[in-house]
Amino acid sequence: MYDSERWVWQEKVASMRWRCDLCVVRVMSFKDECRNNDVSEWCGLKEDVLTRVEKVDVLLSEIYKDYPNEKCVGIYQGTIPALVLRDIELIKQVLIKDFNNFQDRGMKVSDGESEQNLFLVEGDTWRVLRQRLTPMFTTGKLKTMMPLVLKSLNRLIEYSDKIVDQNMEHEIRSLAAKYTLDVIGTCAFGVDMNAFSEDENVYREVAHRVFQRSFKSRMLTMLNSFFPGIVRKLGFNLTNKELFGFFINLVNSIINEREGKPKIRKDFMDFMIELREEGRVTRKGDDKVAELEMNDALIAAQALVFYAGGFETSSATMSFLLHEVCQRQDIQDRIHEEISAVIKKHGGLSYEAIGDMRYLEMVFDETLRKYPIVGFLLRKCGNTYTFPGDKLKIDEGVLALIPVRGIHHDPKYYPDPEKFDPERFTPENKSKLPFCAYMPFGDGPRATALVRMRFAKVQSMIGLAGFFNKFKVVPSLKTNKHLEIDATATTLASRDGIWAKIERR
Ligand code: HEM
């Protein structure tokens, strides 16, 4: 509940699709100058809110645009109040300065086995898992993965060569997905996922299904948003048994194959096997926080989130980048020029070589600015909280929603925001961007940690560098300059795919 003297709920009730569920949303807005109980000054509600089917980040982005003078806007998800934070100072407060009060995402509705993953877990369990899983991505480990990533790149090049020979246009997202799946398979699980084969492929199928939510899961989430806590109380859970069974089997078979011992590979599974050998794990230096049984189900839950996190986000980024440069041969030429020079300098592609590809990195950063794959962030207020310097007070359980997409398209930070302009990310321009105005990987302790972000960048940039070194993309008949967003997808995706023709350089 909000401090009712200072908040006025607009009695407009409308329906919207919330994470593809039907929920009731009420929108109110908080006016900067109206914090002294001057209720009459509360500003009004956008007239046409919200009878439609819309993707949450697009909706939040519209709310962000529609209330340009507000620091935040209140909405309901079912009966759960939420604040859409517009002001980057408030955002900084939630994500970083008062992180301890906003540690959880508030997305976990049950205690199902698959929900015990790093993305969803809360409280002390998150603290333990985060501390114990972070060393998995050191720079040294990234470097040792390079030969594996380069093998996947060779397969990408062979496959692209075949496409060129067929002289046909191609769906680019599926091409990028094949590459990232191949990388994840070898780097994380030591498994050849046969990602480039045209045959039906169970690993590819699973990668897509991780983001699809079953009818049951959607209904339970909706029920929970009207009656918070009910799903847990009734003993239901959201785990999709068939899908989770796949990860349990994958984990079991890898552990058996390695005879329960880590190999020299030092990949994700080796790391997990080492933790499994400890049996029960705690937070190092603070074993009172919580103790977790590192069993196969807990490992499978982490496997699921790394599989999904590593695959979907990176392949989407690569394909949106290819879409943009398909219409800008000048950008492709500049990328090609840079790659040729860097490869000459380093004698080939490597971790160090990628570090020298400054222009490609600018193009990558601008892609995630224009197309933030995860378009909003979510935090739950742990205890009643008053924003410093403001009289805005929120109660425990209120959700803070951060409209990343809205911020990335705000002309205040990015003039002419629909224009694809890598120059926004020259080192000089980047240093002028206000803190929290660029958040494709989130921010604060709960964000994609620096080294995971580096992994995402390195695997995508190696793929792109190898590709642009040999090929270019040109518009084809099916190329759609203005992509329609797929409202049913969890992360950002184009409704009709991304089409282009690949040509040799
Ligand atoms: C372009 C690639 C990627 C993008 C855009 C991306 C984006 C994000 C975002 C926005 C969040 C939420 C952050 C927040 O709430 O502040 C997140 C969390 C997370 N990501 Fe990524 N990510 C990417 C790649 C990866 C990769 C490669 C992995 C794993 C190998 C990964 C694993 C995770 C995990 C485990 C979390 C949850 C962290 C936690 O709650 O402690 N992500 N990611």
Q: Is the CB of 310 within 6 Å of ligand 1? A: yes
**CATH number of the domain that residue 357 is part of:** 1.10.630.10
Ligand 1 centroid, distance to 309 Cα (angstroms): 6
- Is the predicted pLDDT of residue 408 greater than 60, yes or no? yes
Q: Is the CB of 309 within 6 Å of ligand 1? A: yes
C-alpha to C-alpha distance for 127 and 446, rounded to whole angstroms: 10
| Ligand 1 nearest atom to the CA of residue 377, by list position | 15
Ligand 1 centroid, distance to 215 Cα (angstroms): 25
Ranked by mean pLDDT, which of 51-60, 131-140, 146-155, 233-242 comes out on top?
A: 146-155
Domain that holds residue 265: 14-504
The pLDDT value given to residue 142: 84
C-alpha to C-alpha distance for 90 and 94, rounded to whole angstroms: 6
- Is the predicted pLDDT of residue 476 greater than 90, yes or no? yes
Asked if residue 5 is part of any domain, the answer here is no
Q: Beta 471-474 vs 21-25: how paired, if at all?
A: unpaired
- Is the predicted pLDDT of residue 271 greater than 90, yes or no? no
pLDDT grade, residue 468 (50/70/90)? very high
pTM of the model as a whole:
0.89
Asked if residue 311 is part of any domain, the answer here is yes
Tens of pLDDT, residues 86-127: 999 999 999 999 999 999 999 888 888 999 999 999 999 999
Alpha helices (H) along 327-449 = 329-346, 351-355, 358-370, 404-408, 427-432
Mean pLDDT of 224-235: 87
CB atoms within 10 A of CB 91: 26
Q: Which residue has the higher pLDDT, 34 or 397?
A: 397
In three-state secondary structure terms, 468 is helix
**CB-CB contact of 363 with 321 (8 Å):** yes
In three-state secondary structure terms, 191 is coil
- Is the predicted pLDDT of residue 488 greater than 80, yes or no? no
- Is the predicted pLDDT of residue 11 greater than 90, yes or no? no
Q: Is the CB of 440 within 6 Å of ligand 1? A: yes
Q: Is the CB of 381 within 6 Å of ligand 1? A: no
Asked if residue 173 is part of any domain, the answer here is yes
The residue among 463, 454, 360 whose CA lies nearest residue 154 is 463
The residue among 373, 327, 335 whose CA lies nearest residue 356 is 335
Q: Is the CB of 387 within 6 Å of ligand 1? A: no
Pocket test for ligand 1, best of 108, 371, 399, 441 (most atoms within 8 A of CB): 441
Q: Which of 21-35, 83-97, 324-338, 418-432 has the lowest mean pLDDT?
A: 21-35
Mean pLDDT of 73-80: 84
Ligand 1 centroid, distance to 306 Cα (angstroms): 9
pLDDT grade, residue 14 (50/70/90)? very low
E strand residue ranges, 150-279: 169-171
The residue among 15, 20, 14 whose CA lies nearest residue 56 is 20
Asked if residue 384 is part of any domain, the answer here is yes
Q: Which residue has the higher pLDDT, 270 or 372?
A: 372
Ligand 1 centroid, distance to 459 Cα (angstroms): 14
Average predicted confidence (pLDDT) for the chain: 85
Residue nearest ligand 1's atom 18 by CA? 448
Amino acid at 277: E
pLDDT grade, residue 268 (50/70/90)? confident
- Write down the residue that tokens 């040509």 correspond to: 503
Residue nearest ligand 1's atom 3 by CA? 313
The pLDDT value given to residue 45: 35
Q: Which residue has the higher pLDDT, 392 or 35?
A: 392
**CB-CB contact of 314 with 367 (8 Å):** no
Walk across the sheet containing 399-402 and list its strands.
Answer: 27-30, 72-77, 80-85, 399-402, 377-380
Asked if residue 7 is part of any domain, the answer here is no
Pocket test for ligand 1, best of 448, 452, 459, 462 (most atoms within 8 A of CB): 448
The pLDDT value given to residue 236: 87
Q: Is the CB of 452 within 6 Å of ligand 1? A: yes
The pLDDT value given to residue 50: 37
Structural element, H or E, at residue 23 = strand 21-25
Q: What size, in residues, is the chain?
A: 505
E strand residue ranges, 52-202: 72-77, 80-85, 169-171
C-alpha to C-alpha distance for 107 and 129, rounded to whole angstroms: 17
Q: Which of 27-41, 173-187, 332-346, 461-475 has the lowest mean pLDDT?
A: 27-41
Asked if residue 378 is part of any domain, the answer here is yes
CA separation, residue 179 to residues 146, 422, 469 (Å): 14, 24, 16
Q: Is the CB of 313 within 6 Å of ligand 1? A: yes
Residue nearest ligand 1's atom 1 by CA? 314
Asked if residue 236 is part of any domain, the answer here is yes
Pocket test for ligand 1, best of 302, 304, 313, 404 (most atoms within 8 A of CB): 313
- Is the predicted pLDDT of residue 352 greater than 90, yes or no? yes
Amino acid at 185: G
pLDDT grade, residue 52 (50/70/90)? very low
Residue nearest ligand 1's atom 41 by CA? 446
Tens of pLDDT, residues 172-226: 999 999 999 999 999 888 898 999 988 888 988 888 788 777 788 888 888 888 8
Mean pLDDT of 121-136: 89
What's the token pair of residue 146?
């390079």
Q: Is the CB of 373 within 6 Å of ligand 1? A: yes
The pLDDT value given to residue 287: 63
Mention every residue, 6+ apart, whose C-beta is less than 8 A from residue 444. Answer: 95, 96, 99
E strand residue ranges, 224-314: 280-281, 292-293
C-alpha to C-alpha distance for 266 and 187, rounded to whole angstroms: 9
Asked if residue 1 is part of any domain, the answer here is no
Pocket test for ligand 1, best of 298, 373, 452, 460 (most atoms within 8 A of CB): 452
In the chain, how many domains are there? 1
Ligand 1 centroid, distance to 310 Cα (angstroms): 8
Mean pLDDT of 485-491: 82
Ligand 1 centroid, distance to 31 Cα (angstroms): 33
Residue nearest ligand 1's atom 26 by CA? 310
Angle made by CA atoms 294, 450, 104, in degrees to the nearest 5: 55
Structural element, H or E, at residue 401 = strand 399-402
Q: Which of 38-42, 226-230, 240-244, 401-405 has the lowest mean pLDDT?
A: 38-42
Angle made by CA atoms 267, 272, 276, in degrees to the nearest 5: 150
For 49-55, which contacts have Cβ atoms below 8 Å and span 24 or more sequence positions? Answer: 49/12, 49/14, 49/25, 50/14, 50/15, 50/16, 50/25, 51/14, 51/15, 51/16, 52/16, 52/17, 53/16, 53/17, 53/487, 54/16, 54/17, 54/487, 55/375, 55/485, 55/486, 55/487, 55/489
Angle made by CA atoms 217, 132, 122, in degrees to the nearest 5: 35
